[in-house]
Amino acid sequence: KLLQPASARPSTAADLDAFSMHRCSALVASAAPAASVPARISAVAVPPALARVQFEVARCGSLLQGAPRSFASAAGGSWRSLTVCGLDGSSGSLEASLRKLREVRPQQVMLETCAQRRQLANRVSSASATTAADAAAAASGAEAPRSPLSHADAIAAVHGGLRPGDVAAVVSAAGDIDAQVYTVDRPYQETQNRVARHLMLRPRELLTFARHSASVLSGGDPQEPLSRGVRELLESERERHMATEVLRRGVQGSDIFVICRAERETALRQLLDGGLSGTSSSSSSSRVGGGGGEAARIWPLLLVLVYVLVPGYGSIFLAWRASRVVASFLPGPRELIFAAPTAPGEEATPAAAAGLPTPAAAAASETG
């Protein structure tokens, strides 16, 4: 109110209430104003100093709504623009996305990652800063040398999502243009839990998933595709979850910039352009049935217990029992009999045959 021109300030308490209700209902709920607003108030342009405050109010309001907004309200003019960019893991695609990000200058940037992976990316970026050789290689257009595989890299390779280096670069670029960054992907621990639950009673799919993960982590091309059920968990469900989060977090009148993997770009764009029918219910059911709570994330531990620990200790126990059985059939220890040497033609005495000292030998030893 103080930053507005004096001629445009609401003169009465009713005008002030109507103006506040108009701004909040339009920005937060994306609905028609619930009260009539005087023409001289509604025609006032919002000062730049208040635009940031109103954007934050709208962002908090959209998060407190609970249920995601329908796509029809967003397509009808709620968002000013929506841009979806996919990264293929190369430095060229990252530079192109960052350049487009600076050109669009959005207010909201949505990333295909979760809060935990973003924290891991921040740790990785702070621990290993870009060296001069990497910067020179990136400037010349060549591929930068590979860094050691981190925990966040392994998660992104196996379960999907942006790499930690890409996340750190996008977050830094978004901070330069004063844009809010959001993580719209499902938590990776929940994805791990759902995949482990699916593979618990499917050893053949588990073997395929293990081979695929080992091939991806080693940097090679997977020779065997994943099963349909695992792809549904790692691709389709995550795409619907991200589209729902984009709709839920998107603020009216803002430019939204979505950055995801190149494999998810086409499907995510189709979901956002096609209406997302049934996405809200499917996302809610996945959260309830998938065991997203901390107490229910026991399936990875059970998977390791059933397929690694129990067979390992069981094989050791069976080997021990087999060795005991085999040992029971072997003859016992034999007594070794040492016979004293005798003269030619002389028969060995029983004492000498038994390895005991003879009387002559005993007398000689006493004399000595």
What whole-number percentage of the chain has pLDDT above 70?
57
One-character DSSP codes across 229-260: HHHIIIIIHHHHHHHHHHHHH--TT-EEEEEE
- Residue 261's H or E segment, with its range, is strand 255-261
Model confidence over 99-135: pLDDT tens digits?
A: 999 999 999 999 999 999 999 888 887 776 554 455 5
* Least confident stretch, 61-65, 259-263, 302-306: 61-65
β-pair type (255-261, 108-111): parallel
Which pLDDT score, from 0 to 100, does residue 343 have? 59
Task: Please state which of the ranges 124-133, 208-217, 310-319, 344-353 shows the lowest mean pLDDT.
Answer: 344-353
**Residue 261 above 50 pLDDT?**
yes
Per-residue pLDDT tens over the stretch 279-320 = 444 444 444 344 445 546 789 889 989 998 999 999 999 999
Pair 185, 241: CB distance under 8 Å: yes
DSSP, res 186: P
Residue 123 confidence (pLDDT): 85
The structure tokens listed for 290 are 């998938």
The predicted model gives 265-272 an average pLDDT of 91
What are the structure tokens assigned to 312, written together? 């390992």
Across 88-102, average pLDDT: 93
- Give the total residue count for the chain: 368
Q: How buried is 204 (Cβ within 10 angstroms: 0-12 exposed, 13-18 middle, 19+ buried)?
A: exposed
Q: Does the pLDDT at position 200 exceed 60?
A: yes
Average pLDDT over residues 68-77: 39
pLDDT for 290: 46
Provide the 3-class DSSP secondary structure of residue 331.
Answer: coil
> Is the pTM above the cut of 0.85?
no
Only one residue has tokens 């792809």, namely: 231
Distance CA(265)–CA(86), nearest Å, equals: 5
pLDDT of res. 220:
79
Query: How much is the pLDDT for 258?
Result: 95
Rg of the chain over all Cα atoms, to the nearest angstrom: 37
- Please report which confidence band the pLDDT of residue 32 belongs to, taking 50, 70 and 90 as the band edges: very low
pLDDT-derived band at 360, boundaries 50, 70, 90: low
Cα–Cα separations (whole angstroms), residue 120 to 114, 190, 216, 257: 10, 16, 20, 22
* Residue pLDDT, tens place only, 140-161: 554 455 567 788 889 999 999 9
